[in-house]
Amino acid sequence: MPDATGEPPHRSVDLADGPPPAGTVIEVRDEEWLVRKSREVRPEEFLIKAVGASELVRGHEAVFLSSLDRPKVLRPEDTELVADPSPGFRRGRLLLEAVLRKTPLAQGERGLAVTDGYLLDRMDYQLRPAAKALANPLRPRLLIGDVVGLGKTLEIGALLGELIRRGRGERIMVVTPAAVLEQFQHEMWTRFSIPLVRLDSAGIARIERKVPAGRNPFTYYQRVIVSIDMLRNRSRYEKWLKDVRWDAVVIDESHNLINKGTDRRRVAELLSRQTDALILASATPHNGDMPAFTGLIRLLDPMAVKDPKKPKAEELRHVMLRRTKASREVKEQLADHWAPRGDSFPVRCAASGLEEQVFAEIAEQWLGGEQAKDGAAALADGTAVRKRGKGSDHLFPYVLLKSFLSSHRALFATVRSRLTEHGTKLPKGQDKIDGPDTGTQGAVGEVASLLRLADLARAIERATLDELDSPAGPSTASKLAGLVAELRRIGVRAGSPTRAVVFSERHETLKWLGRVLPPLLGWKNDKDATAAVRTMFSGSASDAQQQELVDEFARAGTDVRVLLTGDGASEGVNLHRQCHHLLHWDLPWSLIRVEQRNGRIDRYGQVHKPEFRAMLLTTASPGALDDTTVAEKVLAREHKVHSILGAVEAATVENDWELEEKRLMEALFQGEAPEQAVAALETAPEALDSESGWTADRPVEQRLYGEFGTDGPGYGFGESEGDFGGFDGLGEGDFDDFTPQDDYGDLLDELDTPSTSTARHQSEHTGEGSDDAAPPTTDDADTGPIPLHRELRLFPDRSSYVMAGLDELADVEAFRLDTAVDGEDLSFRTPEDLADRLDVLPPGYLREQNITARMKLTFSRENGADALKRARESKGSMSLWPDVHYVGELHPVIEWITDKVLVQFGRRQALVLQVDRERVPEPVFLMQGVWSNAEGRPTAVGWLAVDRLSGDTPRVRHLIRETQDQEQAADPDLVSLAELGIDPDKPMDDHFGPSDPTALQSLVPAAVEATRQAMGSLRVVADARVDAPLRTYETEVEQWRQEELPGMGSSREHRATEADLLRETAERLRTTGDPMIRVLAVLEPSS
């Protein structure tokens, strides 16, 4: 009972015996703190380092001085027992459930716990990255390298959810390209109930209005999503980033980080040092430069790779996971969720007379005329316009050709730029395509040719404009006529719902198509044309405008029918919701870029067979190169490689589209036939064309492009022997002598002959032994079941918990929320403190759905999916954000209910619940014991039932949700909640008679002592699962630190810094102090 001062009955323990040991709970300034370390600074005065345990200060670290802060030691023995007067003991069950939900899972728990709380069709392959990352004994760090379309965003969300449930996801930063900020934010909220505040230009302006001047915005919000390009602003953001620690950082499209010394890489290196968990995601993680790739791997694990030029497979598989659409697990589970890929159709368009003149000019003056007929560029022997100098200037003829294959406008822009470079800038008026002809008077050589091309481009422009109003349509720009015919053939026209995406490499082409296409497809007035044919990534739209357009294209109710886009949309942008037709107006000379484009509509969730078309301009001019020379062959090879391997990266020499294009142009310049030049983009093209097919006999850098890392976690400290390496401190020039053609042959032996320790650790983590731990091929991968963890609960489902919580809060706080229930749907007036938690969501969404005034929720997965579908398909939908939100396991409403319940009950109080005497013949104390690490997170948690306290030997049993089999039912150390009369699936009987907590009060110290004794055995579990691997890891860190690398002084210094950080991290994760013990409730036999 409260004392005369009104204070709760917490009794301060006299600190005369010395500083409180680690694990002690203290109260300072009306908040609870968990002591991590304490020492005496002078007689009877102690310095106490602690981490917050109660809601307001949870996770915050603080230092207290006993004489100043006067801490109270909260002893579990002083817990006051209070009768639960609520109907059906609702209050006690709510409190127990709230404590269960608020307690993070133990650090050693590898099973996934919240998979049923997501709005997803469960597919194990999408959960496997989370299982793999959580198997890391130190930090969850992983490169998710799945190919385009498999759902990496969903895999990231599942992993973040598990981290949050473990108390390792309070502070999250997600870094993505600007174009996918809202798309990623939308997926995290609608699928996983994880709200992120979007820090784009509008978000920053919003923060600046709220945050005091000079305040670090990254400390104001706990979970943010931000553009990588924004963070590159070194002067504005670097200091702020250095001052903030994160629990988890996600970097999407991480292949953009691979070049050392760039602004993006610098940001990634900084964030990797400031975070615990690090998740990198990219469909093309490896660009063919092995040292650059291993540098990316070292962001995840500095000790991973011994030799950056020749990494071993076992050095990589613990931090990398990659699957293709052809992977067995993926293929089996995607059958009903991803329509089979359709064909790639080449659409040949014969050049018009003016276009033939352009082909002839380029062939004769730039590509050597007749000698180029078979693809051999005569530039090499000087028969073209001029001999090229050093560098890439000799490849300009191909740049010129590709610009024309895009459009006459792109050709004009290239010509104008080239003339300017050579001091022949076009005069004002003539520098625009609609200006007067320039002529070639007085010009010779290259300049004369460029001026002729400029005039031909102008001629095509004039002719095309004249033809737009002609009943016959355009004929001078033959690809335009072909595109219109193809779009009409697939059903794109005014009045039709069919949609299509059209890709082009050139901004000038996109702008031109945006102007001429609408009337040709039936949209005559400007308003309809602007709504139906939209352009993005053309160089003029802002990030916000591009995100808005992606949103529009994904909604069936909008007017947009044709999306014209540049290659900025080829990475990460989802365009498949309302579209399954993609047309390449021009084709990159790169297998990778073509696959990236196709992946915008060929991805998880596509319900129609995606089809692809490429507009190919052909010529009859002797010696000319056209789209059939290279582009058509690239299209065919991409389709064949993808159909066999599931990803073209598994077969390409380069893994960067720009390098692929340059490689192909160089081959043409050297005189190779186009077929050979295109085939040379692959490592073993003959394997795909032979009867024997593709084999696994490839070096590791090629194995990384296919399925990799699916053979278990790959952890096991001590499996690497000898030199740990240490090259992180090297500069950019230290690898100048490296070329991708270095010999990697010995890696195959390492790949196929793993160490026995690798196989041993695989067996330990997966429960399956293996005689061959090499990375599996698609045919022999055995991934095993996903480990799951079933948590204790006092209610059958989230709906019951939330409804009971609302009823209880209405009684004790006397507030009414105007609650309305319809089956599994729930709505209520949004309380102010709940609205504050939702403030991180897009303001437009909050206003549109009036969320801050009234919440509309559903606990039905089917209804939640229907709400998402309505947002996409409804004619009146204004955005992709749903009007009803699915309440997942991590939803802010769940957290709000939990926090409100915990606030209602006094600290160090426990409720007494009456149960049937036949089930509980004597009092049973429900107890919690927690071993923690230096960061205040649990390393082992015990949920215990203690009874027989009147005798000499109390009985302590572990609580389980339900007995799974006869073995569990017969285990004397286990007891289910149902056996104790509090079956989660059944309501409890109401009160049997008056409760007398005072009669039970004397048993509290004995229950606490019995729990303390039982926690000793859990300490052994914590040592085996958590501490022992960390101690081994610390030993290996010290070995790595001391490794001698002659002449690598700077690297050694850098390695020492990294080693200190790794050792300190390991120390902070180890179990420390005494267990925290709490009396949760007492089950009293009915009278």
Helix, strand, coil percent values for the chain (each to nearest 5): 40, 15, 40
Candidates 417, 579, 375, 581; CA nearest to 506 is 417
Cα dihedral value 848, 854, 859, 860, nearest 10: -50
Candidates 849, 847, 813; CA nearest to 833 is 813
Candidates 244, 321, 334; CA nearest to 285 is 321
| Domain 338-706 in the same topology as domain 117-323+719-730+744-766 | yes
Topology (CATH) of 338-706: Rossmann fold (3.40.50)
pLDDT at position 698: 57
- Let me know: does 217 contact 612? Beta carbons within 8 Å: no
pLDDT at position 743: 33
The CA-based angle 176-181-182, given to 5 degrees, is 160
Q: Which residues have a Cβ under 8 Å from the Cβ of 973 and sit 6 or more positions away?
A: 957, 958
CA atoms within a 13 Å half-sphere pointing along the CA-CB vector of 605: 22
Q: Residue 8 gets which letter from DSSP?
A: -
pLDDT at position 598: 94
User: H or E stretch including 320?
Assistant: strand 320-321
- Let me know: does 248 contact 172? Beta carbons within 8 Å: yes
Q: What is the CATH number of domain 117-323+719-730+744-766?
A: 3.40.50.10810
Lookup result for tokens 């053309």: 538
How many angstroms separate the CA atoms of 589 and 607, rounded? 29
Q: Mean pLDDT per segment of 10 residues, for the chain of length 1087 residues?
A: 38 57 82 83 84 79 88 90 92 94 91 94 93 92 91 96 95 93 94 92 77 80 91 85 94 86 90 95 81 88 86 88 87 84 93 96 82 39 41 83 96 94 82 80 82 94 89 87 95 92 96 94 88 79 79 90 92 90 95 91 90 96 90 89 75 76 88 84 58 51 70 50 29 30 30 31 32 36 79 95 92 78 93 90 90 95 94 86 95 93 82 92 95 88 95 93 78 92 86 80 96 93 89 89 56 83 90 90 91
Q: What six digits make up the tokens of 121?
A: 């069709």
Q: Which residues of 900-923 are buried (b: 16+ CB within 10 A; e: fewer)?
A: bbbeebebbebbbbbbeeebbeeb
For residue 829, what are the β-bridge partners?
854
What does the domain layout of the chain look like in residue ranges? 15-74, 81-87+904-1085, 117-323+719-730+744-766, 338-706, 798-903
**505-515: per-residue pLDDT in tens?**
999 999 999 99
Query: What's at 90, amino acid-wise?
Result: R
Enumerate the H helices of 66-151 as residue ranges: 66-69, 90-102, 124-134
**604-645: per-residue pLDDT in tens?**
889 899 999 999 999 998 889 999 999 999 999 888 888 877
Candidates 929, 939, 942, 941; CA nearest to 1068 is 939
How many angstroms separate the CA atoms of 913 and 573, rounded? 54
**655-691: per-residue pLDDT in tens?**
678 888 888 888 888 888 888 888 778 765 555 555 4
- Let me know: does 254 contact 119? Beta carbons within 8 Å: no
Q: What six digits make up the tokens of 616?
A: 């190919």
How many angstroms separate the CA atoms of 755 and 772, rounded? 9
Q: What six digits make up the tokens of 827?
A: 């709505």
> Domain 15-74 maps to which CATH number in 2.30.30.30, 3.40.50.2300, 1.10.3080.10, 1.10.10.10?
2.30.30.30
Strands 61-65 and 45-52: antiparallel
pLDDT at position 20: 80
Q: How far is CA 533 from the centre of its chain?
A: 31
Q: Which residues have a Cβ under 8 Å from the Cβ of 526 and sit 6 or more positions away?
A: none
Cα dihedral value 588, 589, 590, 596, nearest 10: 10
Three-class HEC string of 392-433:
CHHHHHHHHHHHHHHCHHHHHHHHHHHHHHCCCCCCCCCCCC
Q: Which residues of 508-522 are buried (b: 16+ CB within 10 A; e: fewer)?
A: bbbbbbbebbbbbbb
How many angstroms separate the CA atoms of 1077 and 21, rounded? 14
Distances (CA, A) of 565 to 506, 510, 535, 573, 586: 9, 7, 6, 11, 12
How many angstroms separate the CA atoms of 316 and 719, rounded? 13
Cα dihedral value 194, 200, 205, 209, nearest 10: 20
pLDDT at position 890: 96
Distances (CA, A) of 787 to 24, 331, 354: 33, 21, 66
CA atoms within a 13 Å half-sphere pointing along the CA-CB vector of 1063: 14
Q: Which residues have a Cβ under 8 Å from the Cβ of 71 and sit 6 or more positions away?
A: 15, 20, 26, 27, 28, 33, 48, 64
In 10 A of CB 716, how many CB atoms?
A: 23
- Let me know: does 585 contact 479? Beta carbons within 8 Å: yes
Q: Which residues have a Cβ under 8 Å from the Cβ of 723 and sit 6 or more positions away?
A: 306, 1043
How many angstroms separate the CA atoms of 415 and 451, rounded? 8
The whole-model pTM stands at 0.80
User: Which DSSP string do the residues of 26-66 spell out, in sequence order?
Assistant: EEETTEEEEEEEEEEEETTEEEEEEEE-SGGGTT-EEEEEH
Q: Indicate if the alpha-carbon torsion angle 39, 41, 43, 49 is positive or negative.
A: negative
Strands 562-565 and 61-65: unpaired
Candidates 23, 487, 303, 94; CA nearest to 1038 is 303
pLDDT at position 1046: 37
- Let me know: does 481 contact 475? Beta carbons within 8 Å: yes
Q: What six digits make up the tokens of 397?
A: 């003829």
